Structure 1
Amino acid sequence: MAIDKSWMQKSRVSSEYHKGVLEFSDFAFSNAPGKEVLPCPCIRCNNCLMQKREIMYDHLLDNGIARNYVRWLMHGEYEFCEPTNTSTNESDMHDEMQEMLNDAFGMPMPNEESERSPHVHEEFEKPNEDANKFYNLLREVEQEPYLGCKKFTKLSFIIRLFHMKCLNGWSNKSFTMLLELLKETFPEGETLPSNYYEAKKKKKNTS
C-alpha cells in the first residue's frame, strides 16, 4: 500500500504537515497494538528515544520530523512498501549526505566528477581518521546481509529485527538466539552481528 509522505517536506505550520503528523501517529500505533511508547522520529529524538503518542505528536510539531526517515521501518512500514508523493529521492539523499560530510569532516563525498579530477582525487588519498571511519561505516550499512540478498541491506534487516523485538517484547537473550540461528541458516559469508549488543551498537552508530 502506497503511503503519502509529501507532508514531511512541508512547513511545520502548514495544515498538510499537521494532518500528516496525525496520520503518521495513527499508522505507527495501529501497527503496534498494545504499545504505549514507540521510537520518536522527531529531529531531536531521531528514533533513539521512546515516547508516548501525545509526546511524539508534540515533538513532531515542535521539532519537525527527520526528513531522511523515508522508510518508516521502526513504525510498521516494511521493506516492500514504496514511499510515494515525496520530494525526497536518491539525488536529494546524496546531497544531504554531502552536506553532512562537509559539516562533519570539512570534505565532500567522492562522486563521478571528483574521480575524474586529479586535484580532487588527491584530497582523498589521505583522508583523516574520522573520515575513514565514516566511509567504512557507509560501506558497512550498504552491505547485503548475505550474498545475493536484494530485499534488505544489512542495516534495514537489523532495524526490522529490532522492530519485531520491540513489538513482541523479546528479551535480549532471545534476540541473540535468533541472530545465532539466522547466522547458521544464512549462506556462507553472511554479515549479521553475532549478538544483541553488537546489533545494538551497529544500529546506534547509524542513527
Structure 2
Amino acid sequence: MDKSWMTMGKTPNGRLSHPYIEGVNAFINSARAVVDLSGNIPCPCIHCVNCYRQSPQIVRIHLLHRGIMQSYINWYNHGEPRVLNKNIHDNEMSDGDHMDGIDALVDDRIRGEPRNATEDEEVRHFDKLEEDAKRELYPGCTDYSILKFVIEMLNVKVMTNLSNKGLDMMLELLTKVLPKGTKQVLA
C-alpha cells in the first residue's frame, strides 16, 4: 500500500491535502480487517500512538485532526506482517529504521551471541517486561496486563502533565478500590 500520503498533511492555505485524506480513508479501509470484538482498531494518531483502540470512525477523525505518527512505517498493528530481512546489517531493520535496545537484545538472544554484565541486566529487565505483558493486572482481569496498565498510566501522566505526586495519589486510591490481589502490582 502507498504510504506517501503520511507526510503530506496540510496544504499552504491550511487545508488538508486531498492525497492525505484519500490515504487516511485507504488506511481505515485496510485496517478494518483487524478490528477487535468491539469493532475497534489501534489508533496511530500522534496522541494515541497505537496504545488506545478506537472505532474506525474515531481513528479517521484523529488522523485527520491530529495527524499520523511519522515513525509508524510498518503497519504491523493494522494487518501488515512484521518483516525482518536476514541480510541486514546488525543495527538496521529491513524498513531502514535502526533497532532499539530491546530489538537488539532479542536479536542477540536468538543468535546466542555472548553478552556482557550490562546486557545481562538488560535481558533480565526485558524478561520482566515480557512477564508483565502476560500477567493479569489482578486475578480475573482479562482486559489489562500489568505492562498495559503501567503504559496507559504513564500515557495519562504525560498527556495531562500530571505530577509524580498526582500519579502516586491516583495509584494509592486505586490500591484501595481495586480487588485485593492488585495491591502487590500497584505498590
Please tell me whether Structure 1 or Structure 2 has the larger radius of gyration of its CA atoms. Answer: 2
Q: Which has the higher contact order (CA 8 A, sep 6+)?
A: 1
